[in-house]
Amino acid sequence: MAKAYLVKSKEKRVEYGHPWIFKSDIEKIDGDFIGGDVVDVYSSKNKFLGKGFINPKSQITIRMLTYEDESIDYGFLYKRISDAWEYRKKVADPLSCRVVFAESDFLPALIVDKFSDYLVVQTLALGIDRYKEQIVDILNDIIKPAGIFERNDVPVRELEGLDQKKGYLSKEFNTKVLMVENGVKFNVDLENGQKTGFFLDQKENRASIKPFVKDAKVLDCFCHTGSFALHAGYYNAKSVLGIDISEHASQFAYENASLNGLENVCRFETANTFDKLREFYDNKERFDTIVLDPPAFTKTKGAVEGAVRGYKEINLRAMKIIESGGYLITCSCSHHVDPDLFMDIIYSSAIDAKRKVRLVEYRTQAKDHPILLASPETQYLKCAILQIV
């Protein structure tokens, strides 16, 4: 097995448990290897630090698997996946949850989501992709799903030298799956929906809106297939308008509303949220509760400045059209916009909107997306519930 030796100044981060080793962190590599192999990792003083997948094509050159001297084999993967599943059975609804959350479950670049009796798998790095067949066997043995679908149609795989692909990892099945979340029914498109078909990380946040939408006129911006909007309707909102720029998402949201008997409460419009918020302000239209759940405005450090402008604009405009005493439920899934910066944006928006704002509750991703403290990258979702007075 090849041995990778780290630059002296880069060792502590690995010793403290961060799972990524970048090219610039590596002093030298002794021994032969090919991309995707497991290598031993050592400090500059020849101290054993652990083992990880190596891929010289990737800027994240080594992804740590273990900090112990143990074999990386079927048994290793079996125990890691079993531990992850046992954790989900304790903290989440096993019929709708993230089963494996990559580095947070010590299985770097592996995502497994469960929708009803079906699984969606992503293997986003070369090392874990080489074990895909074994992972599928283990999932079938532990969880016994009705079917497994691969959603590896994501550009990040190309950074690993991998092709984008999607398809069945089991016998074929209908990839439009019925799932229930917090009592609300959803049709989930496993094959063509965003990410793995549905955003499970907001599940607990969607449940938390119940007291803030009852008898309220609700606006759900960036509504996608209607997850927050339908929860608002289910929790007895007076009326709900969902806005999304995708015609496909809006149509899917209508189908989900009908599925729950909420078609008379929830309506959806295909439009640009930035334009609609301006239009509502110009027309003096007001809402009791507004949900802002935009896609990530930045995926790189270099784009943070533009993202800040985007977050500020939507929060400022939303605050201007909320009735006094109403509520703003505002979210960000951009990792590079950290919690402190996100709250600074909200405060700055409140100042410019000339509204007084009280923080009612601050939330993050659901418990099936645990945060690894050594890896800030695993904490990405922010959700603030605010009263606008």
Q: What is the pLDDT of residues 1-50, one digit of tens each?
A: 899 999 999 999 999 999 999 999 999 999 999 999 999 999 999 999 99
Q: How many C-beta atoms surround the C-beta of residue 354 within 10 A?
A: 9
Domains of the chain plus CATH, in order, are 3-66 (2.30.130.10), 74-175 (3.30.750.80), 201-388 (3.40.50.150)
Instruction: Tell me the CA distances in angstroms from 45 to 27, 28, 370, one per residue in order.
Output: 11, 12, 33
Q: Is 331 a catalytic residue?
A: no
Structure tokens at 137: 């066997």
**Residue found under tokens 């949220």:** 273
Task: Identify which of 216, 218, 215 has the alpha carbon closest to the alpha carbon of residue 240.
Answer: 218
| 97, 223, 333, 383: the active-site residue | 333
Direct distance between the N- and C-terminal alpha carbons of the chain, in angstroms, rounded to an integer: 63
Tell me the per-residue pLDDT of 143-156, one tens digit each, with 9 for 90 and over: 999 999 999 999 99
Each residue's pLDDT tens digit, 284-294: 999 999 999 99
Q: What is the dihedral of CA 6, 12, 15, 21, to 10 degrees?
A: -50
Half-sphere exposure of 9 (CA within 13 A, CB side): 1
Contact 354, 318 (CB under 8 A): no
Q: Spell out the per-residue pLDDT of the chain, length 389, in tens.
A: 899 999 999 999 999 999 999 999 999 999 999 999 999 999 999 999 999 999 999 999 999 999 999 999 999 999 999 999 999 999 999 999 999 999 999 999 999 999 999 999 999 999 999 999 999 999 999 999 999 999 999 999 999 999 999 999 999 999 999 999 999 999 999 999 889 999 999 999 999 999 999 999 999 999 999 999 999 999 999 999 999 999 989 999 999 999 999 999 999 999 999 999 999 999 999 999 999 999 888 777 778 888 899 999 999 999 999 999 999 999 999 888 999 999 999 999 999 999 999 999 999 999 999 999 999 999 999 999 999 99
SS3 letters across the chain: CCEEEECHHHHHHHHCCCCEEEHHHEEEEECCCCCCCEEEEECCCCCEEEEEEECCCCCEEEEEEECCCCCCCHHHHHHHHHHHHHHHHHHCCCCEEEEEEHHHHCCCCEEEEEECCEEEEEECCHHHHCCHHHHHHHHHHHCCCCEEEEEECCHHHHHHCCCCEEEECCCCCCCEEEEEECCEEEEEECCCCCCCCCCHHHHHHHHHCHHHHCCCEEEEECCCCCHHHHHHHHCCCCEEEEEECCHHHHHHHHHHHHHCCCCCCEEEEECCHHHHHHHHHHCCCCEEEEEECCCCCCCCHHHHHHHHHHHHHHHHHHHHCEEEEEEEEEEECCCCCCHHHHHHHHHHHHHHHCCCEEEEEEECCCCCCCCCCCCHHHCCCEEEEEEEC
How many residues are there in the chain?
389
358 residue type, one letter: R
